[in-house]
């Protein structure tokens, strides 16, 4: 809940379903329960990391938060303004203030247009700027993302993956947004380039006072950039809190499993005991009853299969959706 702090973004009980298949095909129409009852507050100047296995709903949540997708239930407010039911036309004036950076910079950039035109597009569409102003802003943006202004005349295929992501970021910040949702922005890049792009995000946040929702499946990336981290499983947030707390002493057995999937020595040099996840995530077309993690949870009990655990405060700065949260340092399924 937002308490008394003003939120940049407030999402309450957001539910999103997709219809897949066709009634003329085998299997008929199925409903994918992509998000169920997801609540999230994002405060000005912070970075909220969203993590979880692929298919957990993190990208869908990112798109719903910016209202790139409509939602089936719940409420979303941006800077105090309810945007839940605004049409795309009504959202247009707000688009400048909330932007998205995509995973694959190449597919989000039109290959036939010069980089200068691609970055200038939002400036020309939204802003009433003179052409001289646009050119000045372009040079400023290239400087901000550490690219030479000479590159403005080139085409996207002439750049490396990391440079293309810098172009994607320049385009996203062109209109001076307040909020940026970055959807796996470094996942497609080499590890060395990933670090540079993460540093660029952090540098821009400081310079421009940006607020981020940063979606990633790599915990080390989230550890580096996120102030708070939300862990998602099968369409819901199962744990959220300060990044250090969540990633160093997870309380949800799923968080513990995610962390232990990355072998890392503890401070004493020992490799941590591992919580092995059984099986694949269940299908979001037919999610399990009760706690959605109960079919894979090493400490599940009878209650878990029937009663949905709500996200509730566990300790200051952290909330967990589990009937039997782990104590600090405990490893699920290892006594
Ligand atoms: S509620 Fe039960 S099944 Fe779900 S994570 Fe907690 S212990 Fe495991």
Nearest C-alpha to atom 1 of ligand 1 is from which residue? 322
* Mean pLDDT, rounded, of the chain: 90
Provide CB contacts within 8 A for 147, sequence distance 6+. Answer: 163, 166, 167, 170
Ligand 1 pocket member 299 (CB < 6 A): yes
Q: Which residues contact 117 (CB under 8 A, 6 or more apart)?
A: none
267 versus 324: the higher-pLDDT residue is: 324
Given this model, what pLDDT does residue 293 score? 97
Does the structure show a pLDDT above 90 at 261?
Answer: no
Quick check: CB of 321 below 6 Å from ligand 1? no
> Are the CB atoms for 235 and 228 separated by under 8 Å?
no
Residue 244: count other Cβ atoms within 10 Å of its Cβ. 14
Residue 12 near residue 84 (C-beta atoms within 8 A): no
Residue 335, pLDDT above cutoff 50 = no
What is each CA distance from 64 to 105, 169, 304, 307, in whole angstroms? Answer: 20, 20, 29, 27
For the stretch 94-118, pLDDT in tens is 999 999 999 876 777 788 999 999 9
Assess whether pLDDT exceeds 60 at residue 334. no
- How far does the centroid of ligand 1 lie from the alpha carbon of residue 165, in Å? 39
What does the pLDDT average to over 78-103? 94
Band (2; pLDDT cuts 50, 70, 90): very low
Residue 106 Cβ inside 6 Å of ligand 1? The answer reads: no
- Tell which atom from ligand 1 comes closest to the C-alpha of 301: 2
- Does any ligand 1 atom lie closer than 6 A to the CB of residue 322? yes
Ligand 1: which atom is nearest the Cα of residue 304? 2
Which of 14-18, 49-53, 260-264, 266-270 is least confident? 266-270
Cβ neighbours for 7, distance < 8 A, ≥ 6 positions apart = 41, 42, 43, 44, 77, 80
pLDDT digits (tens, 9 = 90+) for 15-44: 999 998 877 777 788 999 999 999 999 999
Do residues 273 and 287 touch, judged by C-beta distance below 8 A? no
């Amino acid at each position: 809940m937002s308490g008394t702090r003003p939120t940049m973004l407030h999402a309450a009980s957001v539910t999103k379903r997709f219809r897949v298949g066709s009634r003329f095909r085998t299997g008929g129409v199925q409903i994918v329960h992509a998000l169920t009852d997801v609540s999230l507050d994002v405060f000005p100047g912070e970075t909220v990391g969203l993590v979880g296995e692929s298919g957990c709903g993190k990208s869908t949540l990112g798109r719903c938060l910016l209202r790139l997708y409509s939602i089936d239930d719940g409420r979303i407010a941006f800077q105090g303004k309810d945007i839940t039911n605004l049409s795309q036309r009504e959202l247009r004036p707000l688009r400048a203030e909330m932007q998205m950076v995509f995973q694959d910079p190449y597919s989000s950039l039109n290959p036939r247009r010069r980089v200068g035109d691609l970055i200038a597009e939002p400036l020309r569409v939204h802003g009433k700027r003179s052409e001289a102003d646009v050119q000045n802003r372009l040079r400023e943006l290239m400087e901000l993302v550490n690219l030479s202004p000479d590159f403005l005349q080139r085409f996207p295929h002439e750049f490396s993956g990391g440079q293309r992501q810098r172009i994607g970021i320049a385009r996203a910040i062109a209109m001076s947004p307040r909020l940026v949702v970055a959807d796996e922005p470094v996942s497609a890049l080499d590890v060395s380039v990933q670090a540079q792009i993460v540093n660029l995000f952090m540098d821009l946040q400081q310079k421009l006072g940006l607020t981020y929702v940063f979606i990633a499946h790599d915990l080390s990336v989230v550890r580096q950039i996120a102030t708070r981290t939300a862990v998602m499983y099968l369409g819901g947030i199962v744990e959220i809190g300060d990044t250090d707390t969540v990633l160093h002493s997870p309380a949800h057995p799923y968080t513990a499993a995610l962390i232990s999937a990355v072998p890392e020595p503890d401070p004493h040099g020992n490799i941590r005991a591992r919580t092995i996840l059984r099986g694949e995530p269940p299908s979001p077309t037919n999610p399990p009853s009760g706690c959605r993690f109960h079919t894979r949870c090493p400490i599940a009990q009878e209650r878990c299969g029937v009663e949905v655990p709500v996200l509730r405060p566990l300790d200051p700065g952290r909330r967990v959706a589990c009937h039997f949260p782990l104590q600090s340092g405990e490893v699920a399924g290892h006594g």
